[in-house]
Amino acid sequence: TIARTEQALTEQTRQARLEASTALEELLTAREILAAADLNVAAADRALDQITARFDVGKAEYLRLLNAQSDRMNARSQAIRARYDVLVQTAALKRSLGLDPRTRLSGLTEEDSE
């Protein structure tokens, strides 16, 4: 009947909005995590530079240099995973909105509109 069809359409619309809203929230969270990961990479790079300089003049142990290198690699690995998560969440949002995967998203955050 028409009433059931309208009810089904209303439910599908509600579900689609919920899916899109959830996808957007997850994308924004992924972007925040990526920003933090990028800051960690920068900090690890600075720490490695400092330890390397100290090691070069005999003021730091080799183990500290190795630990700083390991920390930098871990930070970079986390940033790569975070970048991947942003891409996955972007694709999920596009899918939930019915957009072509090649469509650029803009205007989702203030930084997108700049």
Which pLDDT does position 112 carry in this prediction?
54
E strands, 3-113, are: none
Closest CA to 36 of 6, 66, 81: 81
Which pLDDT does position 111 carry in this prediction?
53
Consecutive 10-residue runs of the chain (114 residues): their mean pLDDT?
Answer: 92 94 97 98 99 97 98 99 97 93 75 48
Residues in the chain: 114
Alpha carbon distance, N-terminus to C-terminus of the chain:
49
Which pLDDT does position 106 carry in this prediction?
81
- The residue ranges of every structural domain in the chain are 2-97
**Assessment of whether the complete model's pTM goes beyond 0.85:** no
